[in-house]
């Protein structure tokens, strides 16, 4: 049986046949795209039904978020939130909190509501919006209860004295330079040490699965039919895989989940067996991409980390450095990065690198350049994740090396203003996510939310990357805006290409998976700033319709 979905307009994101009015589907795949008239060679010979419930709507390829962190988000959903922007979380709305006094008032309010002795973990602090915070301030909120403030940039903790004891910080401070007991700060490797305790508290036992179900609702409401956990294993590789297969693995899940292991996590957990474990996971249960279930599949990709968080300004930047003189952090020391990547490069894995500053980017490009000369590879599709601070020369070099970029769509909107005065200055803050230049040099540009760094709303992220409007309404460097087509491609076909899945998803064409998103409005007839307001009526995964409430 062929099912034909009709629409007011179908945008295929395939330049060979850019528009249509009908999509014919059979056995989960597209039979043909066109019109009811052009489909007649098929329809006159095969049993079929016309489904016209979307006849007044617009159909596009299912949206893709190629870099999310479900386990990380699950842990944060178990926390309290005090953030500088509104968030709609499963079952609750979190209004924005701005100002140092307002932040501390809310923190004290949360502390007073907790039972005695229970740790308080609060996500979302950012010094530019909430003022400084340290051990002394948090001891003033409570000297008896462990309090962990988890900043908006994720890559660090701010702790009171009791929390430092709870996280065994003093033991690690003897050898880890990224733990400062006096200020109560634990960042990068110091944070990873504290996560041993915090993960058990937040998502241990049977607490992970219900939180993942809440994230599934966020994915569906955002119109995404494919996500990728880019850095899989944060909650423990075996535990995460079991939970993902349980919660996301069935055919009733309205999206596909792809897994990209974190080399850092796998090597810490499995030591010399890390790559063998990746291969074993990828081989489990078959599937076209080496999947574990119908909906949860593995990629032959791996993720590395160069420098620290952009939001926390732990990125490594080149001259003239940060205005306030502070230095970023290396997640992988510069002379080690190429050594870490080499065995995976030689084994044919697709390489993905978290990098946020231009100094971090230079080290990353040096590593790829070295590996290309040692072991030439064609179509390696190395992806630069986040792509915050860069230079025009580096964009040209990215193109020359055959790499792709995958920026966060929310950086400019959330931080384009506040990065100016203390940290980057007007020029560099106005040129973060230099995607216009990337496209002009032929570089693939996809877009991610990096959930929980941004909400999983691909249309909103695409709009923000295309308009580059900051919170104050400025539009720095308008030449770096994406065109409407490139903005939509960043959450469809370019995202698919960067995942090496463009033969299956990302555009609508005969033979590809029947993954669609149905909109009550045509993005290409609306102003880019209005894209976030387009109602999402439904998604279609493998030909099955999943209405969006």
Mean pLDDT by 10 residues, the chain (549 residues): 98 98 98 98 97 98 98 95 95 96 98 95 95 96 97 92 96 94 94 92 91 96 98 90 93 96 95 92 53 83 96 93 94 96 97 98 98 97 98 98 96 92 93 97 98 96 96 95 98 98 98 98 97 98 96
Question: For residue 167, what pLDDT is reported?
Answer: 97
| CB environment 138-152: b (16+ within 10 A), e (fewer) | bbebbeebbbbbbbb
Separation CA 463–CA 445 (nearest Å)? 14
Q: First CA to last CA across the chain, in angstroms?
A: 28
**pLDDT the model gives residue 205:** 87
The structure tokens 């796998």 sit at 266
CA dihedral (149, 239, 408, 257) positive or negative: negative
H helix runs in 292-351, sequence order: 334-346
CA angle 123, 125, 128 (to 5 degrees): 160
Give the total residue count for the chain.
549
Residue 355's pLDDT is 98
Structure-token pair, residue 172? 């690690």
Distances (CA, A) of 390 to 312, 396, 424: 17, 11, 12
**What is the predicted pLDDT for the residue at 292?**
63
Q: Are 465 and 409 in contact (CB under 8 A)?
A: yes
Q: What is the pLDDT of residue 121?
A: 98
Give me the chain's average pLDDT, please: 95
CA 504 – CA 154 distance, rounded (Å): 33
Among 25, 21, 2, 1, smallest CA distance to 10 is for 21
**Radius of gyration in angstroms for the set of CA atoms belonging to the chain, rounded to a whole number:** 23
**What architecture (CATH level 2) is domain 65-69+209-538?**
Alpha-Beta Barrel (3.20)
DSSP state for residue 424 in the 8-state scheme: I
**Taking the mean position of all CA atoms in its chain, how far away is CA 5?**
31
Query: What pLDDT score does 285 carry?
Result: 41
| CA–CA separation, 548 and 219 (whole Å) | 11
Cα 223 off chain centre by = 15
Alpha-carbon gap, residue 257 to 225, rounded angstroms = 9
The DSSP element (H or E) to which 231 belongs, if any, is: strand 224-232
Q: What is the distance between the alpha carbons of residues 389 and 360, in angstroms, rounded to a whole number?
A: 9
Which residues, including other chains, have CB under 8 Å from residue 35's CB and lie 6 or more apart? 20, 21, 22
Q: Tokens representing 302?
A: 């791996």
Predicted model pTM? 0.95
Select from 4, 2, 1 the least CA-distant residue to 516.
4
Q: How far apart are CA 475 and CA 412, in angstroms?
A: 9
Query: What per-residue confidence (pLDDT) applies to 422?
Result: 83
Closest CA to 223 of 477, 479, 458: 458
* Of the candidates 508, 365, 390, 379, the residue with the CA atom closest to the CA atom of residue 444: 379
Residue ranges matching CATH 3.20.20.140 in the chain: 65-69+209-538
Sign of CA dihedral 106, 107, 111, 114: positive
Q: Which residue has the tokens 């307001």?
A: 533
Which class is domain 79-203? alpha beta
Task: Give pLDDT, residue 41.
Answer: 98
Domain with CATH 3.10.310.70 in the chain: 79-203
**Alpha-carbon gap, residue 96 to 156, rounded angstroms:** 21
């Amino acid at each position: 049986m062929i099912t034909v979905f009709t629409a007011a307009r179908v945008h295929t994101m395939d330049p060979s046949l850019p528009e249509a009015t009908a999509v014919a589907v059979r056995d989960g795949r597209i039979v043909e795209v066109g019109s009811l008239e052009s489909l007649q060679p098929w329809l006159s010979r095969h049993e079929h039904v016309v489904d016209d419930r979307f006849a007044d709507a617009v159909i596009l390829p299912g949206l893709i978020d190629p870099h999310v962190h479900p386990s990380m988000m699950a842990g944060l959903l178990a926390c309290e939130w005090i953030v500088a922007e509104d968030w709609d979380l499963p079952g609750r709305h979190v209004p924005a909190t701005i100002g140092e006094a307002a932040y501390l008032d809310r923190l004290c309010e949360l502390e007073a509501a907790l039972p005695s002795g229970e740790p308080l973990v609060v996500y979302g602090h950012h010094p530019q919006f909430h003022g400084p915070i340290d051990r002394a301030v948090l001891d003033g909120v409570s000297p008896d209860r462990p309090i962990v403030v988890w900043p908006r940039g994720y890559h660090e903790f701010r702790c009171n004295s009791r929390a430092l004891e709870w996280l065994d910080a003093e033991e690690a401070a003897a050898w880890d330079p990224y733990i400062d007991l006096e200020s109560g700060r634990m960042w990068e490797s110091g944070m990873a040490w504290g996560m041993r305790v915090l993960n058990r508290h937040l998502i241990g036992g049977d607490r992970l699965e219900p939180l993942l179900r809440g994230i599934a609702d966020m994915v569906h409401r955002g119109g995404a039919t494919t996500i990728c956990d880019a850095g899989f294993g944060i909650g423990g590789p075996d535990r995460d895989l079991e939970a993902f297969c349980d919660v996301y693995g069935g055919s009733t899940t309205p999206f596909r989940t792809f897994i990209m292991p974190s080399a850092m996590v796998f090597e810490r957990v499995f030591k010399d067996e890390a790559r063998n474990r990746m291969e074993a996971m990828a081989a489990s249960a078959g599937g076209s991409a080496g999947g574990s279930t119908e909906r949860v599949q593995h990629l032959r990709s791996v993720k590395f980390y160069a420098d620290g968080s952009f939001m926390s300004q732990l990125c490594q930047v080149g001259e003239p450095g940060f205005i306030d003189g502070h230095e970023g952090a290396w997640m992988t020391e510069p002379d080690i990065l190429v050594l870490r990547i080499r065995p995976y490069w030689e084994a044919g894995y697709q390489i993905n690198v978290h990098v946020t500053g231009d100094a971090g980017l230079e080290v990353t490009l040096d590593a790829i350049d070295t590996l290309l000369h040692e072991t030439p590879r064609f179509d390696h599709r190395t992806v630069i994740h986040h792509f915050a601070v860069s230079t025009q020369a580096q964009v040209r070099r990215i193109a020359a090396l055959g790499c792709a970029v995958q920026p966060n769509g929310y950086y400019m909107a959330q931080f384009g203003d506040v990065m100016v005065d203390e940290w980057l200055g007007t020029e560099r803050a106005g040129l973060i996510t230099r995607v216009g230049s990337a496209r002009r040099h032929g570089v693939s540009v996809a877009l991610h939310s990096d959930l929980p760094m941004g909400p999983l709303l691909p249309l909103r992220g695409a709009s923000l990357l295309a308009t580059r409007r900051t919170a104050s309404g400025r539009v720095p460097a308008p030449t770096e805006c994406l065109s409407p087509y490139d903005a939509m491609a960043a959450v469809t076909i370019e995202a698919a290409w960067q995942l090496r899945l463009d033969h299956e998803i990302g555009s609508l064409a005969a033979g590809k998976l029947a993954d669609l998103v149905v909109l009550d409005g045509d993005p290409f007839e609306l102003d880019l700033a209005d894209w976030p307001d387009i109602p999402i009526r439904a998604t279609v995964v493998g030909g099955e319709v999943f209405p969006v409430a």
